[in-house]
């Protein structure tokens, strides 16, 4: 079975001296539970695993009992591991974990703990509420072209349309079935069980419509005013911006801000919408694969979405920021920054596009590294395979 980068990373951390809880988090259907199971099989140490799937088990008392059983293992074999999946389903789980983890720390008990779950939003809420300073996150993003090629034999054209959800890969020969899977196993549970269950969502219909419209417009700038018009619902720009943030944290859709050295101005700008995977754009639009050959504009936005999603996935692991830039008629598809390093990226994706924006940006911001993805020097597939250095 194919092993993602998560597997050796988690295994190595669990072999280190006990320091932090290990939390594997990311969008639904990206293989988090499988990766954790693969990592645990590499270790020669006692492991207690549990999945909080059944409603009758989703109690703080069950969590405490499992922890006590794992403590007995750790007293016999220091370095024993407790692995809890779907832990976010336990009410007030983070407070219980905090108490038990701190108690082990005070007593010098070497019990290592791994947590994961299908709801990124609920996991992060608990992490922020109670576990500050006690955990490390291992992000599980949608799969890259390199991973899909090696694991499923995807071609570049396959990846462009079907994206990076491993559970759907076996359905690529049946588009209707593939579309239904992505919609019912990924999009709907994320919206209804993750995002819409958050009490901060006051207008669930507006949030759902925002995802559907945003995914169709992926890789395009759209003002908040125009977005409100498209949604045909009452709301304001603050509500839309907040819902975009929720969708982004859920791994569905982000609104990339414009690049500006003045952070406040950057945050106030109109966003460039970006689906976190091309499969989400395809599912929202309902388009068929032949559109890739028939419509250069649609293909162009799909290619730009693939590049942008790849950048977002890398950013979550490598700690850089992803923005875009426009000034008048000058535009740059993506601007990535890490510390003092800055790269401006233009994507040649089949649509007729000028490179004047790239030149203008480099002139305005000296020291910028410029990349033209889709050129003879830097083909799109090479970039998505990680063969093109992102920073100079």
The CA distance from 34 to 53, in Å, is 16
Question: At residue 266, does pLDDT exceed 70?
Answer: no
Share of the chain above pLDDT 90, in %: 75
pLDDT at 97: 97
pLDDT digits (tens, 9 = 90+) for 7-49: 999 999 999 999 999 999 999 999 999 999 999 999 999 999 9
What's the pLDDT score for residue 72? Answer: 98
In the numeric block, which tokens belong to residue 327? Answer: 């000034």
State pLDDT tens for residues 56-114: 999 999 999 999 999 999 999 999 999 999 999 999 999 999 999 999 999 999 999 99
pLDDT at 265 over 70: no
The 10s digit of each residue's pLDDT in 306-332 is 999 999 999 999 999 999 999 999 999
Asked whether the whole model's pTM tops 0.85, one would answer: yes
Domains located in the chain, CATH noted: 6-139 (3.40.50.300), 145-384 (no CATH)
Q: What is the mean pLDDT of the chain?
A: 91
pLDDT at 228 over 80: no
* Contact between 373 and 383 (Cβ < 8 Å): yes
Query: Per residue in 81-95, pLDDT tens?
Result: 999 999 999 999 999
pLDDT band for 51, please (50, 70, 90 cuts). Answer: very high
The residue among 291 and 342 whose pLDDT is bigger is: 342
């Amino acid at each position: 079975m194919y092993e993602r980068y998560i597997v050796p990373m988690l295994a190595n951390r669990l072999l280190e001296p006990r320091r932090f809880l290990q939390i594997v988090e990311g969008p639904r259907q990206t293989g988090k539970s499988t990766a954790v199971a693969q990592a645990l099989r590499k270790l020669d140490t006692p492991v207690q695993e549990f999945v909080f799937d059944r409603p009758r088990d989703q109690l703080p008392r069950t969590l405490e009992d499992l922890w006590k059983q794992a403590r007995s293992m750790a007293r016999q074999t220091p370095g024993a591991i407790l692995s809890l999946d779907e832990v976010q389903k336990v009410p007030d789980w983070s407070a219980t974990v905090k108490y038990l983890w701190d108690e082990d720390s005070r007593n010098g008990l070497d019990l290592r703990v791994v947590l994961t779950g299908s709801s990124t939003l609920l996991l992060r809420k608990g992490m922020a509420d109670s576990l500050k300073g006690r955990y490390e996150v291992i992000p599980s993003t949608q799969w890259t072209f390199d991973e899909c090629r090696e694991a499923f034999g995807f071609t570049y054209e396959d990846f462009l349309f079907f994206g990076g959800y491993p559970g759907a890969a076996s359905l690529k020969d049946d588009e209707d079935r593939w579309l239904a899977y992505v919609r019912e196993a990924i999009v709907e549970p994320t919206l209804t069980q993750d995002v819409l269950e958050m009490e901060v969502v006051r207008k669930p219909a507006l949030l759902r419509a925002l995802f559907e419209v945003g995914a169709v417009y992926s890789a395009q700038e759209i003002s908040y005013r125009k977005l409100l018009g498209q949604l045909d619902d009452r709301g304001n720009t603050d509500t839309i911006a907040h819902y975009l943030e929720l969708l982004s944290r859920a791994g569905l859709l982000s609104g990339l801000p414009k690049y500006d050295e003045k952070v406040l101005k950057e945050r106030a700008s109109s966003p460039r919408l970006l689906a976190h995977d091309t499969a989400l754009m395809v599912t929202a639009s309902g388009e068929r694969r032949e559109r890739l050959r028939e419509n250069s504009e649609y293909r162009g936005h799909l290619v730009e979405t693939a590049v942008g999603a790849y950048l977002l996935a890398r950013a979550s692991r490598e700690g850089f920021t992803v923005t875009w830039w426009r000034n008048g008629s000058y535009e740059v598809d993506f601007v990535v920054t890490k510390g003092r390093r800055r790269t401006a990226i233009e994507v040649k994706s089949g649509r007729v596009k000028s490179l004047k924006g790239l030149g203008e940006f480099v002139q305005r911001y000296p020291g910028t590294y410029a990349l033209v993805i889709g050129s003879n020097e830097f083909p799109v597939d090479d970039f998505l395979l990680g063969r093109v250095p992102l920073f100079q």
